[in-house]
A and B are shown apart, each in its own frame.
Chain A
Amino acid sequence: MQALDLQAKDAGLHGNYSQLVLELSPVDDYAFLRGKLAGFLESYPLLSGLPARSLNLCPYWALKKNKPVLHFNVDTAADILQARELVKAYLNVPLPAQTYLVFYLINSEARSFLAMKFDHRLFDARGAELFLAAFNRYYVEGVLAPAELTAEAGLSRWGEKFAAGKTVNRFFLALRRNLGLLNLNKRPVRARVKFVTCHFSAFEFKSIEGKSEEIAGHMMLMPYLLAVSTQALYNQFFAGREGSLIVPVNLDMRKKGSEEIFFNHVSFLFFQLLSREIEDIKTLASVISRKWFDQTKNGIPKALQDASMLLRIMPLSLSAQLLRRFLGGDMAVFSFSCLAESGYAADDFAGSKVYNLFHLPVVPPAPGVGIFFTSYKGGLNLTISYLDGKMTGDEASRLAAYIKDSLF
């Protein structure tokens, strides 16, 4: 995560972070909410920590003596449309120095939006949802969730880690075979992230799941969503061209039901998809399901996690270069993730009704385009995140429309 953060900063972005947004019924008493949030944050000393490294040893999260400080900004929008635009614009506002968590409350007459911007060194997407869920429990019941930290330090069992490194190296060598990689070769014009978002109601999501069963098979929603996204992007940007696309897919590695909030628990699957496999959606979904099965069977996500431990003692700049080379780098065409079950399950947040919960992630500079699906209360959200210039706003909107039309 440190290396990804450096990589993002080298590309002119403000780091590797994301924003989780709650669309709420109007929040009347924001001062009360602010007070509650400040009290909640003080219960987690981890929030005032920062990444540190002694000499050239492994990095760690160093706790500071002072209590965590709440950064809470309030804004008023003329209407819900302007509020939504402000939510997107805030993601490009840098986090204050040595700050890893900031809240923005944007009020409009019809809706309030609470945007939680967080550094990925502190939370991943699921962790951010769990953090808000823990706050809501504290707000409603006065109960504080303990900071569960079960991940090991990773400073032992080096033999296993080197074996994992060998597995990962072989896997990437196979991926790098020359199969005519197709890529959006455009360079970003500005270090600014832009978004297109799309919401599917619970009824629409049911229909998408039905189509997924029909096309990709039972319980194969993620391969189906990836197949539709890949086909849409290929047809829009590479139609008729021969070659292959590489797509890294983020995976949440927490145990099912784990409420571990802090730090990052993400690994990856990698899909190399040939143009001839992309033409037919059923073939494509089947290829993705098969590759996913094979990578799970061969333990690739776990091997990636273990092998990444080997990188930690390297100078950060070298780790960033290696990540760029291996974790997609210039090879990948877009990154993908699908959180089909939200870590935030409540209907309300701090007394306001929750209409939607969606994510606006800063996409890593390479590949510079991300297609992300998240769900909340039976509905599905699509977010296309891209660096300005990697595609135009019109192209991103067309891509979203293409995906939307193809899903049903």
Chain B
Amino acid sequence: MAVNDIAQIEEALRKELSIILNTDSAGISNNTPLASLGLDSMSFVELLVFIEKKFNIKLMDSGLKKEDFYSVGPLAARIVKELNTTK
């Protein structure tokens, strides 16, 4: 995956969120607030584990900011930024 291919990252995040939250991925847009999807501490950690395994970046160690996790869009942008930094 190209490190700046944000659309693919968004797609992967939406797919994973639908698995973690046991919901239809069609109901998750890039702008849907994650909090409104019922994400809690446990599912949030599962999402972080997915991000580390899939993109090989450790968001836990790079400072988690609330705005990065507002929705899929900003989260994908943050992942792209991290990937470009570690390139």
Residues in A lying within 8 Å of B, measured CB to CB: 213, 217-223, 251-252, 255-258, 289-290, 292-293, 296-297, 338, 340-341
Contacts and interface: CB of A to CB of B under 8 A. Distances in A.
Contacts of A341: 38, 40
Interface in B49-67: 49, 52-53, 60, 64-66
A346 to B, nearest CB: 17
Given A218-B65, A293-B49, A257 B38 contact: yes
Contacts of B66: 213, 218
Interface stretch (B5-13, B16-24, B79-87): B16-24
22 contacts: A217-B64, A218-B68, A219-B41, A219-B64, A219-B69, A220-B44, A221-B40, A222-B42, A256-B22, A256-B38, A256-B43, A257-B21, A257-B38, A258-B22, A289-B60, A292-B45, A293-B45, A293-B48, A296-B45, A297-B49, A297-B53, A338-B41
Contacts of A218: 44, 64-66, 68-69
Contacts of B42: 222, 251-252
Contacts of A258: 22
B22 A293 contact: no
Contacts of B21: 256-257
B43 to A, nearest CB: 6
Contacts of B69: 218-219
The main secondary structure of chain A at its interface with chain B is: mixed
B49 A256 contact: no
A293 B43 CA distance: 11
Given A258-B22, A340-B41, A293 B65 contact: no
A257 B23 contact: yes
B57 to A, nearest CB: 13
Given A256-B38, A293-B45, 17 more contacts: A218-B66, A218-B68, A219-B64, A220-B41, A222-B41, A252-B42, A255-B22, A256-B21, A256-B22, A257-B38, A292-B45, A293-B48, A296-B49, A297-B49, A297-B52, A340-B41, A341-B38
A146 B46 CA distance: 29
Contact of B23 (A221, A256, A289, A292): A256
Contacts of A256: 20-23, 38, 43
B39 interface: yes
Contacts of A296: 45-46, 49
